[in-house]
Amino acid sequence: MKIVIRESADEASKIAADHIIERATPGMKLGVATGSSPLPLYKYLREARKAETFSLRGCTAWALDEYVGIAEDHPERYRNVLHRELVGDEATGLFDEDLHTPNGLAENPDAAAAEYDREIGAGVDIQILGVGQNGHIGFNEPLSSLSSRTHVDVLTDTTRQDNARFFENNMDLVPTQCITQGLGTIMSAKDIVVLAFGENKAEALHQLMEGGVSQRWPATILQHHSSVTVYADEAAVANLELLDYYRSTSG
């Protein structure tokens, strides 16, 4: 695992965007996250598209997760969030039909989850990941199987509380269930970019990098992946035990 530390989320995101731009290949499969962490990175990808140094035209994008039962036109439906950030010539050049998200409106969400997992196939080329305060990735909450595939899950109160900011600050409006790529599905990505910003991620990042691998902190499974780069700001690295060493070796 590598870590790149910068003063601000914006500076770290610029380098994370360069990571993706340098490794992009025609027709690649890009795994995309929601939440606030990837937003500056997406801004830099759009800028690169404008400067004609990057494009997702002809590539496919694969969401990590989706709320179950959220209205089709709800602005916080992850499909709609990712559409706004990435789709179209004004964004990254991605075609709408190349944006793949789990079908949270399916009559049978379990079948939709299995179908999504089949579509992902052997895994994406580059996966962008945020981390929940409680160490979740995608929506794999504590006690998720470390080898799980895409499945329906129940959100913890911590996560619903965290996400209430997207739902009029009212936790009761946050859906209770989701379809999420499993930890095994996420681990099938060839390359993984983790974004961790802010002091409320400090403990999750400490566990992700230095804790024992355990279902209690699902992100710790990333220690078993051979190509993970963490992009963090100063606030998020506050709890790292070997911080001086990482600074001396990081880019």
Name the residues that contact ligand GLP, by CB under 6 A: 33-37, 64-65, 130, 132, 138-139, 159, 163
Q: How far is the CB of 240 from ligand GLP (least distance, A)?
A: 18
Q: How far is the CB of 26 from ligand GLP (least distance, A)?
A: 27
Of residues 158 and 215, the one with the C-beta less far from ligand GLP: 158
| Gap between the Cα atoms of 140 and 220, Å rounded | 12
* 209-212-215-221 Cα dihedral, nearest 10 degrees: 50
**What is the pairing mode between strands 191-196 and 126-129?**
parallel
Q: Which residues contact 122 (CB under 8 A, 6 or more apart)?
A: 188
| Gap between the Cα atoms of 44 and 29, Å rounded | 19
Of residues 60 and 159, the one with the C-beta less far from ligand GLP: 159
Q: How far is the CB of 137 from ligand GLP (least distance, A)?
A: 7
Of residues 93 and 130, the one with the C-beta less far from ligand GLP: 130
Of residues 109 and 138, the one with the C-beta less far from ligand GLP: 138
Q: How far is the CB of 162 from ligand GLP (least distance, A)?
A: 6
| Gap between the Cα atoms of 63 and 120, Å rounded | 10
User: What is the CA angle 133-152-110, rounded to 5?
Assistant: 165
User: Do residues 69 and 104 touch, judged by C-beta distance below 8 A?
Assistant: yes
Of residues 101 and 163, the one with the C-beta less far from ligand GLP: 163
Q: How far is the CB of 81 from ligand GLP (least distance, A)?
A: 10
